A and B are shown apart, each in its own frame.
Chain A
Amino acid sequence: MSIDSNKLFKDYVADLKNYDEILKPTKEINKNWTQLFDNIEAIGSDELHELQSEIDWLMAENGVTYNVYNDPNGLHRPWQLNAIPFIIHENEWSEIEKGIQQRAKLLDLILKDVYGERKLIKDGIIPPEVFYEHRGFLRQCDQIEYTTPKNLMIYSAELSRGPDGRMWVVNDRTQAPSGMGYALENRFTTSRITSELFQNIHVKQPSSFFNDFSKMLMDAAPEGVENPNIVILTPGPHNETYFEHAYLSSLLGYPLVKGNDLIVRNGFVWMKSLKGLKKVDVILRRVDDSFVDPLELREDSYLGVAGLLEIVRNKNITVINPIGSGIIENSGLVPFMNAICNYFFDEDLVLPQIASWWCGQEKERTFVLKNIKKFVVKRIDRSNRESLYFCEFLSEKEIDTLKEEIIKNPFRFVAQEKISFSSAPNYVNGKLEPRKVVCRTFSIAKDGCYTVMPGGLVRVASERKQLRVSNQRGGISKDFWIVSDQKQENIQQYTWSKSKNSGASDMNDLPSNTAENLFWSGRYLGRALTTSRFIRTVLNNMNNERYNTRKSESEILVYLFKAVTNITSTFPGFVGKGSEKTLENPLKELQSLILDKNRGGSLAQTLNSFNNSYYTLRNLWSKDMWRVFDSIKKLWKDYDQTKEYSLNSLIKLLDRTITRLIAFMGLIEESIMVNQGLLLYFIGLQMEQATMNIAKSRSLIVFNYEDYLNYEILEAFLNSHESLNIYRYSYQSYLSVENVVNLIILDKTYAKSLHYQLNRIQKDIARLPIPENSIGLNECQNKIAEACYIMDSINSETILTTNKDNSLRENLEKTLSDLSDLLHETSLAISNTYFDHTYQQTQMVQQKIEN
């Protein structure tokens, strides 16, 4: 294929100065890529465009996100995957693999040495300040011994192709390297959507790598542990790579926990689960070093587990990667790496690195200061994300400031030669564009050596001219193909043999944070649905009023408005002080109750709260659920943009929201298993619906209306309850308050009646694990039993007795109010019994030191 004839390549060669992955200087295509371009030519550029849109769509649909800190456009940004993969031939790859393995082994030895004998310092191989001035050097980790033969269990090397055509190491990631999950999801996506591009290309699959990964976690358990309990420790849904934490949790089948799910007691680490405490043996952590133990490390951290480090010292837990491994994410090491390699292995580094000068040495510093414009200057540690200076672009003043900084703290800086790394084709708007790429590779400890994932995660600069590749700045990724001359197997969806894995297969072991979020998901969904339905009923009534001038109509509306305020607890609203004014323009108030995110009790806020629980639980949701969830978000976003807040448009918004919420609730029931915590969701949902049911009844049927109002109030009530048809079917009569109370409150068999709901809550609570150390019925069971007893004792004859003086059905009001209190107490009891986060972690000494 010649590139001149292909319109995809139009403009590709313009200002192409550097090494390019596909084009030789002769404009011939690198032979590793020819088959791919034949395949692209075969499908045509229109089809390629289609594929790219489909990838974008699928990534968004599957909820593959990458959080960008401080992103004004919202936290969860869809992950971008370009249709054009990055290709390396296995012949070249096997050399690279050797280089990665060598470097992993080397870094492992450095890690052991720096917290052990420190021979590298004593023997003069590395100046001590390379470690001592690095903020990742944690003296608390000194002399810790580990049970695993390798200390560095996961290593990620970032590679780019240098001007000499070889792959160079540009970064080492050793604390909690991210990207593996994204790499795998990329492969699943390309295999599914761009299968035509794989025609006649034998791409190596990462299947065995993830099996090795799972085995590595298992084998890392402390001595004598047969069936290790493994957890994945995440900083939470606000972390940039939370998608991946949840992804790995569901892929590998290990619970995803936050710091406050874990606790140190009696010399071990325990997970707080529904049943009580469950011992944990291995922690795969995605929390950075200094945040993992607020007792010994950063005191202001709420992401870690107090006392964890001591359990590590006593070899009763394995943390992967070990705490303190951030010290070898150290660009100060680069100038010494070859010497270290010779020191340990008596050989040179296989993979080249960027020429670097550590400013802690006088000669090097002088050289750097003199030629500073030629360099990229970095801090040796990367705790500050933006501490990278491309000196050629700095002003004289900035250069002077940087020089001063280097002279003042020379040990903290390293200068690197500015390298133009290679570019690879990226599909952009119907054409291919050369873009800078960085390949993140992944290796894990296996049998005393390291095994490397074939491929990895390729990240692409977000603009053609951009030098730096970073996801934090919003980047694009590529699938990374290692191609072979031999036929390869297809990618497999993983099915883990769970025999050895005791994972979270039992509801007893459900982390209490997960349980709590499920419970609240149920509550928020219940609230969102009831609120939407009720406001919709009111809006419909307003709509009718416009065509109907009966006096009763507007009187009824006032009752309904007041009920809205009561049900949503959004006082004063239509009820309290200033309500006359609010009643003058009721649509404005209703609009705010629907759309105002900052108003407690509004539908928008309830949906927002649900969003938060939802993201936290993402490892449990199915892809269909993502789709529906996303469509709710999109619906609201689009609505927000129309700025048209008419009665009809609000009704339409609610109609659509309601259908989607119901679809979502249906999916929850079929996607999550009871022992994954579905029960908690149900309890939350029923509890909220029962509570709202009571609130509605108290606002609409406690008062004994004049006859001419009664009918329509009851009709609205049944409507908002989606029960009008059922009523007609069951009673085939004129609406009467007796029958309505019978159906909505007293009926034992109707799923929307309060009686049914209370019984169901009681039954579900009885199925929850009984906490250890409890005798007899616990508080949750007691409270709900009391509520059911009141319900059973209701006398249908007297419940509706009206006090003539105030026209109130006082028995009904009293009963409903007692039930409401009991439900609230049941909810609190559930919180106290199962979601024990009541006690706040605090420092004994409030030093307010940021370390």
Chain B
Amino acid sequence: MVYDVIHSTVYDYEEGVTFCHNIAILKPKHILGQNLIDYQLEISPKPTEFSEKKDFFGNTITRFSIQEHHKQLKVVATSKVDRNVSECKDIEKFEEAKKITLTKTLELLKGVSDAILDARQYQLESILINNINDTIKNYALESFKPDRSVFDASFELMQRIFKDFEFNTTFSNVATPISEVMKEKKGVCQDFAQIAIACLRSVNLPARYISGYIETLPPPGKEKLIGTDASHAWFSVYIPTFGWVDFDPTNDQIPKDQHIVVAWGRDYYDVAPLKGVLYSSGRSTLKVSVDIRPEDGYPVQDPKTTTQQQSQQQQ
């Protein structure tokens, strides 16, 4: 399935900004199962400096700075992505991997192959996923047992988060500690992904944070409105002998073609879509809109299940 994605971010500054340095992580990954056909980043005003580099995690980082005085900063990322998850499924290996127990996984993780060494860093706490407490661990232990398959347990964890947590766009922000989210059982996709990761790490499993998009469908019979999508996040578990397996606890499903991957890291901090340092004295307002639609538009067809994808506005 080929998608067109438009991710637009607009900052309006009351007093104007004389100068800014920014970092954007907006370019979808080019990986097995996801082919990035086209990508453009439009920035206004025009940056004086611009560079694109890969970061530690292999995400594409765009750095730019603007030297002219401006009252509005507009960053629009337009991508064309061909998503075909079936490409990356090695069914036989996957069926085997599904059976690996927690005990076996932890044993295999002591290995030193490149993949395992890389995965091991995701067992550790990170900037936003720290101080993993007993409440989180106990929540995890309900699903994770030494002799149970890691895949099954992760699947169940995803289901439980979907069931136990309330989707609420006003409760949290990016700095809300995971313990708070766990306590109130409320939040958005970022919180759910990070709670799941905290649970997995509490039992020493490598888990990473994926940021991206998910296609949402208009209500039956209605035209889809432009810009109603948003960026999305989910989590991934490393299963030795197989690799990373994604789970979307916000929508209670294993991501397929509707999920588009932009970046991954230890938590949201590693993959924030846009950040920067600016020189100004006034206040700012932010507008973000994301639009994802199939290249050929929507055929008239039966409505699929609706999905939730609202993520936090970064204010």
Contacts and interface: CB of A to CB of B under 8 A. Distances in A.
Contacts of B22: 295, 844
Contacts of B67: 265-266
A841 B277 contact: yes
Interface in B110-161: 112, 114, 117, 120-121, 124-125, 127-128
Given A306-B21, A307-B65, A851-B269, A844 B274 contact: yes
Interface stretch (B80-88, B230-238, B278-286): B278-286
Contacts of B18: 839
A851 B276 contact: no
Given A122-B114, A142-B56, A295-B277, A307 B21 contact: yes
A260 to B, nearest CB: 10
- A interface, by DSSP: helix, strand, loop or mixed? loop
Nearest to A837: B279
A139 B112 contact: no
Interface in B60-110: 63, 65, 67
Contacts of A845: 174, 272, 274-276, 314-315
Interface stretch (B47-55, B186-194, B243-251, B301-309): B47-55
A266 B49 contact: yes
Contacts of B125: 409
A14 interface: no
Interface stretch (A125-133, A376-384, A769-777): A125-133
A839 B175 contact: no
A732 B161 CA distance: 96
Contacts of A122: 112, 114, 117
Nearest to A843: B277
A401 to B, nearest CB: 15
B11 interface: yes
A133 B278 contact: no
A624 interface: no
Interface in B15-64: 18-23, 48-49, 51, 53, 55-57, 63
Interface string A266-300: 11000000000000000000000000001110010
Contacts of A128: 117, 120-121
A177 to B, nearest CB: 27
A266 B50 CA distance: 10
Contact of B278 (A842, A848, A849): A842
Contacts of B121: 128, 132
B277 A139 contact: no
A520 B156 CA distance: 66
A266 B68 CA distance: 12
A741 B128 CA distance: 69
A240 interface: no
B277 A844 contact: yes
B269 A849 contact: yes
Nearest to B56: A139
A611 to B, nearest CB: 28
A264 interface: yes
A851 B49 contact: no
A846 interface: yes
B49 A267 contact: yes
A688 interface: no
Contacts of B276: 295, 843-845
A133 B124 contact: yes
B120 A306 contact: no
B279 A264 contact: no
A839 B120 contact: no
A133 B121 CA distance: 8
A844 B278 contact: yes
Nearest to A118: B117
Interface in B183-239: none
Contact of A848 (B55, B175, B270, B274): B175
Interface string A820-842: 00000000000000000011111
Contact of A846 (B49, B281, B315): B315
B288 to A, nearest CB: 11
Contacts of A578: none
A264 B49 CA distance: 11
A836 to B, nearest CB: 10
A840 B18 CA distance: 10
A132 B277 contact: no
A849 B23 contact: no
A239 B8 CA distance: 43
A124 interface: yes
A310 interface: yes
A276 to B, nearest CB: 15
A310 to B, nearest CB: 6
Interface string B264-298: 00000110101111111100100000000000000
Interface of A: 121-122, 124, 128-129, 132-133, 139-140, 142, 263-267, 294-296, 299, 306-307, 310, 313, 409, 411, 838-849, 851
Interface of B: 11, 18-23, 48-49, 51, 53, 55-57, 63, 65, 67, 112, 114, 117, 120-121, 124-125, 127-128, 174-175, 269-270, 272, 274-281, 284, 314-315
11 contacts: A121-B112, A122-B114, A128-B120, A267-B49, A295-B22, A299-B277, A310-B63, A842-B277, A844-B275, A845-B275, A845-B314
Given A295-B277, A849-B175, 17 more contacts: A128-B120, A263-B19, A264-B21, A265-B65, A267-B49, A295-B21, A296-B23, A839-B279, A841-B278, A841-B279, A842-B279, A843-B275, A844-B11, A845-B275, A847-B275, A849-B128, A851-B269
